[in-house]
Chain A
């Protein structure tokens, strides 16, 4: 199992690195550290920033796309209206990105956790959270991800991410999280 996971991780890193090799580096070399705006200029005669060394690809380029803050795959949550389990239109691209990723990475499996805000009953919210999680699974299924790779559970209203009692907190807690196993 661990070997499998290591293999998968290695594959993911390799893919990430391969992907990065084709991304464009900045045309202009990065400024030398001395040019940091916070440092006072040594004097009027000081030259403008000049290239001093070739720039290496930053280590960040090898990041797992799932953990790359600039990649949509780093978004793992989708949100819902009160007492509803339809995914917001604005969150559909998130589900679709994960659907594509899962289609491309047939060994990966996910758990979807459905959550609710604090209003209403615990049992009803447990059922509603389940339906929210199932709603994401159905969308992934349409994208070609077999339901056997997607486990769904409900946390109901029992595990609020935001402990507040206002609409902002409730909106954050009406949520389904996509968790890679």
Chain B
């Protein structure tokens, strides 16, 4: 197994506008990078392989490389019900923009100059990322690549309507690696706004394009970009074929983490991005599992009598809230990740479910029908008195708290339409942010600016995006299967 390779970032000194010469590196050897490195190793076999047969070979080779994964997989095959996989899921998602923000940054992203053909069109990935956010309007930059060192006439770009211009180059180094250099110009001020280089092993080009898009996004909007993050979701291909998949935030590079004949629901990321907790019905009972994505190892953490569901990691990653019916009806409990120190947090004859920790770990938001219909409540993370949070509508479920703790997203039924609402917890102001009507399972992007959710369009389950301010929307759809239960992973460090 290759050691995790740190991304190196280096500021550039262009002749016209010198930058400080200091080199800097992103933090080394964190586990998130390890995952990418592992996936990158698999992708080395399968990058750009679109047809299923060759993709399958890539999976097999990848699994043989990882003996631990193979052992787990073999055990699972022998167990019969499911198959653990670490390979590409094949089908890519496509994105359809259905609404854009009222204020957009006009930006031109020129094709990158390359000294040898690359497997990824870097500028195309960057443009797609920026477009999907709803905050950018892409100005045509033509097809001619613009070298990162080129002297550009910013006045020309300003008169073409581009307030910003991104240019870049990919240079193959002597050791075979590729250096991706990029600069962002502010054509209004006539100055460079950002400039950086990434070293690529050649298998992580798409991820580096997302990193460039993240820098453009952060430079222009002031918010951290989320294009280099990952999402997980469940696809149902047929009545007895479910897959838990992990993909880039744009739906590309889908990897199947778990394949089962029975349903999988409620996946959720551990705060460090290494694991997913979820509910699997593979034993014909609803149990909660924690699945380490770096090793493929998984273990059941809640298999009490009755139903076990609704996992939610505490922000410190050390405790897990779950919903159990072991003592009668659905109640919320918390426990250590090994299942020890189980504590009951609710005690009410009604349904209490869907726990979600506040980002500071002090509170748990949850769904309860103690008032007759389901509503969102909040209690201390150690249990006790609950305070009702939602009052509009008679069916409000699936609470999720924004990373800054200020906004609640949830699903509300109004006139038999199920839509995503966001509630400003300080002002109690509420906003419907979706234009779809069978919405489920909202999940905040780690920068809080976007919400990914599941919905149904044309009789098929798809994932969709909505800006938290309601000003932009997009739909992601794969070529087949019902896609559902999205969960957005944390920032990669």
Contacts and interface: CB of A to CB of B under 8 A. Distances in A.
B417 to A, nearest CB: 10
B485 interface: yes
A159 B286 CA distance: 13
A123 B323 contact: yes
A131 B62 CA distance: 44
Contacts of B233: none
A136 to B, nearest CB: 14
B353 A131 contact: no
- A interface, how many residues as a size bin? 20 to 34
Interface residues of B, number: 37
Contacts of A119: 413, 416, 418, 438
A134 B327 CA distance: 12
A62 B279 CA distance: 44
Nearest to A159: B263
B436 to A, nearest CB: 14
A11 B454 CA distance: 52
A121 B281 contact: no
Interface string B45-82: 00000000000000000000000000000000000000
A162 to B, nearest CB: 13
Nearest to B310: A123
A126 interface: yes
A112 interface: no
A152 B330 CA distance: 13
A128 interface: yes
Contacts of B395: 83, 120
> Helix, strand, loop or mixed for chain A's interface?
mixed
A130 interface: yes
Contacts of B418: 119-120
B307 A124 contact: no
Contact of A126 (B284, B307, B398): B307
A102 interface: no
A159 B323 CA distance: 20
B248 to A, nearest CB: 24
B285 A123 contact: no
A78 to B, nearest CB: 18
Contact of B441 (A122, A128, A156, A158): A122
Given A134-B329, A152-B306, 12 more contacts: A119-B418, A120-B418, A121-B367, A121-B397, A121-B411, A121-B441, A123-B367, A124-B374, A127-B323, A128-B351, A154-B286, A156-B265
Interface of A: 83, 119-124, 126-128, 130-131, 134, 152-154, 156, 158-159, 165
8 contacts: A121-B398, A124-B351, A128-B351, A130-B325, A130-B329, A134-B325, A134-B329, A158-B265
